[in-house]
Amino acid sequence: MTGFFANAGIYLPILLKGVWLTIAVTFLALTLATLLGLVWALFRTSGIAWLAMATRVFVEFVRGIPILVVLFYIYFVMPEVGLDLTAFQAGVAGLALTYSCYIGETFRAGIEAVDRGQVEAAKSIGMKQPLMMRRVVLPQAFKIVVPPYSNNMVMLLKDSSQVSVISVAELTMQGKMLASSTFDNMTVFTLVALLYLCLTLPLNFVMRRVEIAMGKAQ
């Protein structure tokens, strides 16, 4: 046990470099995924049949592909058609694209869960669709989607480890490189697991408080 703590003091500064990159990847991917997810949800609930169907096909297609394949495709295949991204950019893009489809379905479910009576009331006083969505539907839908959206955030944080396969030196990649050079697998990957817990537990706590606060506001 003494050896574990002694080695941990040596390894932690190296692993913390990966922690900051993990946070950066997660934050950027989550921001893009949320914006795209809202677009997909609005398309799905637009009432325009061809647009809703095309979005549904796209979302189901992306959701049916493993994240690793999406990352490989963006990083290795897209340069062949002129889109040459760095490993970091490809990692963010792949995570954002994949999670936008999951978040989009979460938003869609929230929009459709809003009381239809309120929608009809908004229409009856002459509200146009954009104004009705902004003033009536979306504020209520956001309260509904907080719990599943929180789950998506945590899952995205953990799935950020997937970008290590395209050589992004985030926490998991730093752990792999450190373990391969020290052969101290137990200490290194125990620290990696603990660092992920240090990221996910506060995030869970904060989102739980947000959920409670929004519940009281209803």
Residue spans of alpha helices (H) in the chain: 2-44, 49-63, 67-72, 87-113, 116-124, 129-132, 138-159, 171-182, 185-217
The pLDDT of residue 29: 97
List, run by run, the mean pLDDT of 10-residue segments along the chain (218 residues).
Answer: 76 91 96 96 90 96 95 94 92 97 94 79 74 77 87 94 89 91 90 94 88 67
**Looking up tokens 């902004």, which residue turns up?**
134
Domain count, the chain: 1
Kindly report the CATH number assigned to the domain that includes residue 11.
1.10.3720.10
- Domain extent at residue 67: 2-217
Nearest by Cα to 58 from 100, 113, 107, 106: 100
The pLDDT of residue 134: 75
What pTM was computed for the model?
A: 0.90
Close Cβ partners of 206 (under 8 Å, ≥ 6 residues apart): none
The pLDDT of residue 215: 66
The pLDDT of residue 216: 58
